[in-house]
Structure 1
Amino acid sequence: MRILIIEDENMAARRLIKLINDMIPKCEIFGNLDTVTSAVEWLNNNPQPDLIFLDIQLADGISFEIFEHVKVTSPIIFCTAFDQYAIKAFKLNSIDYLLKPVDPEELKNALNKFQSGRKAPEITLDQIRVLLQPVQKVYKNRFLVKIGERIQTIAIDEIGIFYSEDKVTFLMTKQGKKFIIDYTLDEVENLLDPELFFRLNRKYISSVSAIKGVFTYSNSRLKIQLENSADNDILISREKMAAFKNWLGQ
């Protein structure tokens, strides 16, 4: 079986590939492709795979744009962080729709559905967009933190950055105080208003006010300096540069 992975989060892609390899040891996995551009190029220059795992939000746009440039005949399993209600609606029209982080049992069921030969009804790009549009995302306004035996809340406008260190996620206020929170950084990203916060890389999510400096770096990347952070190696990849600049200048 030939499987194509189109996913812009390296950690999510590695986890998905490991799970697939555990369940289908003899499969051949291509990718990981992380942009609309690279996906279109690959699909135009290679035979259609037997199955595609496709994220919705890629580094350079929404993955639905792929279908506007190339005819995709392969079955697709969507993997994304969209709201559960959109997922339930979309399951009526696709092999499956998995919420990240992908649950192994959900993945197993999706693969079983695919291997059983059940074909989904055809759905147009416009129908996909209509299904997703009604879902209005509600973003988190505050986070709970523990200080000794006391629990308190920190409002979203008091927070400068979120970061991950040694598999622990921290919240840092604009005053430089840091607290451990009970979320992964991927989960935090899905809870935040993207107009207020940006996922710089796999380790950092920043508010606008926490951006102290932005500098050009080698290989068309950017180096970011954050308030209250001693990390001098915070880089933004070439693929995320345009999105970051748009966010910073909005």
Structure 2
Amino acid sequence: MSYSSKLQILIIEDEKPAANRLRQLLQGFFPEAVLHGHLDTIISSVDWLQGHPAPDLIFCDIQLADGQSFEIFERIKVGSPIIFTTAFDQYAIKAFKLNSIDYLLKPIDPQELDQALQKFQSQQKQAGLDIQQLKALLVPQADHHKSRFLVKYGEKIQSVQTADISIFFSEEKVTYLQTKEGRRYILDYTLDQLEGMLDPRKFFRLNRKYIASFSSISEIHTYSNSRLKIKLTNTEDQDILVSREKVGEFKNWLDG
């Protein structure tokens, strides 16, 4: 379905491929719309929203480069309708339904996007966001943390206990888990999806490539631009960096 409205649409998304796909889909639905962004951090999103008129519609990823996007709406009042995009598991989707917030599960399906846009055009308004309630609902409870992962080893399928996993990492668009013994297995999940499955007390998303367990971190060094360089056990990568925006969160995580 094609829409003729000349909307002002803001895209808040820290993954460039996902932002480009959303932009292409929206251009098909709204040929005359003005698409702003993509913005990839809380800071840049707050700055943009403070310096521009409110857009007609916002597409907003939950996990940004410097934290969860809910912080944007805690810092400033946003009256625009919002469609959240998320790679979180089913438990989180219930939170959106309870809060009457529209959402799209990534990778975005064109038909689901069409349905969300039809809902947006029929309502043309956004219910008030209960950010604290939504954040609480998005925190995985104990029974939502995966305790094991099924992996394929040759012609066999085996189960790897989460407690035996050192890191998860992405390489050439493939996701791997690596055990404390250094064995690697391919997973069918993205790192974004894994973030919603793992106990945040035991695993930390260092950057776009790595999720590390507490026990996998062998050395931490200060680095340029207030960043940190991390050395992981059984890993040859010498350039594992924690961005300046995540350093505070990382230190809090280390401190327990």
TM-score by length of 2: 0.83
Deviation at 1:17, TM superposition (A): 3.0
- The yes-or-no answer on 1:130 pairing with 2:120 is no
Q: Displacement, 1:132?
A: 5.6
Deviation, structure 1 residue 173:
0.6
Give the conservation status (yes or no) of the 8 Å contact 1:77–1:94: no
- Structure 1 residues 145 and 236: CA distance shift in structure 2, 3 A: same
Query: Which SS does the other structure have where 2:150 is aligned?
Result: strand
Residue 119 (str. 1) matches residue 124 (str. 2): yes
Are positions 1:186 and 2:189 aligned together? no
Q: 1:13 to 1:236 in 2, by over 3 A?
A: farther
- 1:139 paired with 2:142, answer no
Count the aligned residue pairs.
247
Which residue among 67, 70, 78 is the counterpart of 1:72?
A: 78
What per-residue deviation string (whole Å, max 9, x for no partner) do you get for residues 1-21 of structure 1?
221122344454344334333
Evaluate the alpha carbon distance shift between residue 74 and residue 100 of structure 1 in structure 2; reply closer, same or farther with a 3 A threshold: same
1:244 corresponds to: 250
Moved more, 51-60 or 82-91: 82-91
SS in 2 for 1:101: coil
Q: Offset at 1:93?
A: 5.5
| Residue 201 of structure 2: aligned partner | 195
2:208 partner letter: R
Which digits, 9 at most, give the CA deviation of each residue in 1:141-170, with x for residues without a partner? 001122222221111111001111222221
Q: Please say if residues 81 and 126 of structure 2, whose CA atoms lie closer than 8 Å, have aligned partners that are also in contact.
A: no
SS in 2 for 1:71: coil
| Counterparts in 2 of 1:89 and 1:219: CA distance versus 1, 3 Å | closer
Q: Give the distance between the partners of 1:7 and 1:120, measured in 2 at CA.
A: 22
1:233 aligned residue: 239
State the Cα RMSD in Å. Answer: 2.6
Q: 1:124 to 1:202 in 2, by over 3 A?
A: closer
Q: For 1:111, give the aligned amino acid.
A: L
Structure 2 gaps of 5+ residues are 1-6
Does 2:34 correspond to 1:28? yes
Q: Do 1:160 and 1:206's aligned partners in 2 also have CA atoms closer than 8 Å?
A: yes
Decide whether the 8 Å contact of 1:86 with 1:132 is kept in 2: no
Matched, 1:55 2:61: yes
- Secondary structure of the corresponding residue to residue 151 of structure 1: strand
Q: Is the 8 A contact 2:152 2:158 kept in 1?
A: yes
Identity of aligned residues (%): 60
Q: Which moved more, 1:2-11 or 1:204-213?
A: 2-11
Moved more, 50-59 or 144-153: 50-59
Query: Are the aligned partners of 2:219 and 2:232 in contact in 1 as well (CA < 8 Å)?
Result: yes
Counterparts of 2:155 and 2:67, CA distance in 1: 44
- Aligned-pair distance for 1:249? 1.9
